Structures are given as C-alpha cells and as structure tokens.
Amino acid sequence: MADYRKGWELLPGSHGCFVCDASGVNPRALGLKIYWNQADKSVHIPYSPDNAWCGYSAVVHGGLTAAVLDEAMAWAVRQVAGEWAFTVDFHLRYKKAVEPGQLYEAVAVVGVVGRKITAEARLMTETGQIVALAEAVFLPGRGLARPQRGEAE
C-alpha cells in the first residue's frame, strides 16, 4: 500500500457523489478518500469494504468494485486533462474475489489524452496482488460534465 502522508494531495471529492462525497450531503455515499500522486500522475483510493457491500456471502458486489475503479479513473482524467469527462466505454476483468474486511487500493493512470481520453486502473490487496483490472474511454465534458451543486470546480 502506498504511504499517503508523503506529499500526496487529498482531493476534495465530488459533492453528492455515491463514491467520494466528502461533504456529507449524500447519506448513502461510501465517502472514500481520493489521493493524487503528482510524481507519477496517479490516483489512489484506499478502501476496506464491509459485509454491507456483499452480493454473495463474503464476496463484495462486483458493481461496487466497478464503481470504485471508474471513480479512480475519472479523477485521474480530471487531474491530467483539467476537466471532468464522461465514461463512454468501460471494461473490467475480475481476477479474484474481493472480500469484506480486507484493505484494498485502487490505482488509476491516464493513457492517451485527445478527442478521447483513455485510462486504466487496478485494484490490489495490501500485499500488491491484483484482484481486478479496468480500462475505460472518456469523452471530455466540455463544460457539460459538472459535479452536483455545491462543489467548487
């Protein structure tokens, strides 16, 4: 796991967002913290899912894993491209079950920035074992992709 105290920027979260709302406006938000590492231009989201996130007994719902990885890539795109973008294509490969009560880290980086923006993310265990891999294509929002009311842009 990365050491988030060494000069990484804690990003503000999006007002009302299901994954990263830090304002408290969304009572159902997961409230995950998002860190930006300027040195390697990567986003990191540490999280430890609990039993409430399970679809099957002792297996975290795959949709939540997808949401966390999509969020990591979206923030990486925002940091690198300087604006919000829409996810228009998303592919995810699960390599191992995500278990409640374990510590995981989502890490995302941006690939190509142009008319379309590509990004990739991985979800890892505390020991660095990859449990899920994602890649996505984003379209720049051109002012249309905005956070919910209340967040400064």
Residue 6 has pLDDT above 90, yes or no: no
Question: What is the domain range of residue 94?
Answer: 41-140
For residues 86-124, one letter each, b for 16 or more C-beta atoms within 10 angstroms of the residue's C-beta and e for the rest, the string is: ebeeeebeeeeebeeeeebbbbbbbeebeeebbbbbbbb
Is 150 a domain residue? Answer: no
45-76 pLDDT, tens digit each: 999 999 998 988 899 999 999 999 999 999 99
Is 153 a domain residue? Answer: no
Is 3 a domain residue? Answer: no
Is 36 a domain residue? Answer: no
pLDDT bucket at 39, cuts 50 / 70 / 90: very high
Neighbours of 61 (CB within 10 A): 15
Domain of residue 124, CATH code: 3.10.129.10
Number of structural domains found in the chain: 1
pLDDT at 1: 64
pLDDT at 17: 86
Is 16 a domain residue? Answer: no
pTM, rounded to two decimals: 0.90
